[in-house]
Amino acid sequence: MLGLSRKDTSFLLIVIFLTLATPLLLQPFPEDSALAQFNAGYPDLMQRFAIFGIFAIGFNILFGLTGYLSFGHAAFLGVGSYSAVWMFKLLTMNVIPALILAVIVSGLFALLIGYVSLRRSGIYFSILTLAFAQMMFALAYSVLTPITGGETGLQLSLNDPRILGVSQTPEGNIPVPHLFGLEMRDSVQWAVGGWEFTFNAGYYFCAVIAILVFYLSMRIFRSPFGMMLRAVKTNQTRMNYTGLNPRPYTLAAFVISGMYAGLAGGLMAAMDPLAGAERMQWTASGEVVLMTILGGAGTLMGPVLGAGFIKYFENIFSKINDNVLHAWFAFLPDGLEDVVVAIIHPFVGKGWHLTLGILFMLVVIFLPGGLVEGYRRLTRAFRRTPRPDPRRDPEHHPGPVPHVGE
């Protein structure tokens, strides 16, 4: 089915179900519960799960398959965002043309940067990509201010010369991104008992695109092209000895990965039509590296799990403040409650980076293969059946023990 094996098709169907059911799965606790703090089923966060999942899937095609570690992939994320916003300003607020332009422009930038950077490998390649990304960040922040908006960012205005569409609504507001009339911010609320589920048009648009690019990555992983990329990672020197030139394959992987990043940047602009130079900083590139390694580099589902893990805990830990902690530990005596809150305080709120760093460190130490390795260990532990001990098995009847010499 769809060019996939039966096992891969079943896996894809599970991914589709989990993606479409995310608004339900991320709201496990009633709204009036103290544990509602851990709910994550609201549009902005769900959109980020899908968008950064796309970003990480694309990065994994380069790093996971070829072993080339890029520290400058945020450059393509920023280029995609700028391209999408310019399409909104000049042509139409429909998100489809904006995403197409974002993918094309980011692919061209990836072709140029990859052609130069892939002349080197290892740490030299990583430093080159980082240098290119920082140069693009500096240009967007200062020299190219008329195009990028500088430090304030590129955003829509009431005077945009939009060809297909109006510059402002009858109410005098800036139009919002839409998909043939369906606005990305439209949501439907569904209240069931103490739960309230939100089904957002923007999330489902991102989710459908995420499913499509995930399917494309599966085809790449299972294709002869993907096998060649694995050969590059395994032993590039041996490939050269056999007469195969690895550069076209690595350059193609770099361009595809950059187009994925541009698509993610375009989706970010489609959900919130604003593009800033901060999306091109080295910290954003480092974040996608962490997502991929944390989930499991070189695996299909690992980057998605890593992106969801980081974005979920980043959001949850950052919004836990002292008031929430006091509400959780109100059952303790006053003095003990204050001590417990004082101990936990440095790890939440503004200190959420510390907690996330500890979690990342624990995963890297105990699960070098990422979260996917943890899942595999669990499945092996549950599937393992102990071998019967012949000495304790009543149905085992060994023959007579022969005498020495027989």
Q: How many structural domains are present in the chain?
A: 1
Look at residue 246 and tell me if it is in a domain: yes
Per-residue pLDDT, 392: 54
pLDDT tens sequence across 139-166: 998 888 989 988 888 999 888 888 988 8
Look at residue 115 and tell me if it is in a domain: yes
CA distance 314 to 335: 30
Look at residue 189 and tell me if it is in a domain: yes
Spatial contact of 78 and 277, defined as CB atoms under 8 Å apart: yes
Would you give the end-to-end CA distance of the chain in angstroms?
61
pLDDT tens sequence across 112-144: 999 999 998 889 999 999 999 999 999 998 888
Could you give the 3-state DSSP secondary structure of residue 192?
A: strand
Per-residue pLDDT, 65: 93
Look at residue 292 and tell me if it is in a domain: no
Angle between helix axes 371-383 and 282-295 (nearest 10 degrees) is 10
Q: Which residue type does 196 have?
A: E
DSSP structure class, residue 387:
P
Residue-range definition of the domain harbouring residue 29:
6-280
pLDDT > 70 in the chain, percent = 94
Could you give the 3-state DSSP secondary structure of residue 198?
A: strand
Cα–Cα nearest to 246, from 8, 67, 35: 67
Cα–Cα nearest to 270, from 199, 318, 204: 204
Look at residue 320 and tell me if it is in a domain: no
Using alpha carbons only, what angle is made at residue 293 by residues 106 and 352, rounded to the nearest 5 degrees? 95
Per-residue pLDDT, 397: 47
Look at residue 127 and tell me if it is in a domain: yes
pLDDT band at 1 (very low <50, low <70, confident <90, very high): low
CATH number of the domain bearing residue 48? 1.10.3470
CA distance 86 to 67: 34
pLDDT tens sequence across 5-29: 889 999 999 999 999 999 999 998 8
Tally of CB atoms within 10 A around 15: 18
Look at residue 317 and tell me if it is in a domain: no
Which is more confident, 390 or 379? 379
Look at residue 163 and tell me if it is in a domain: yes
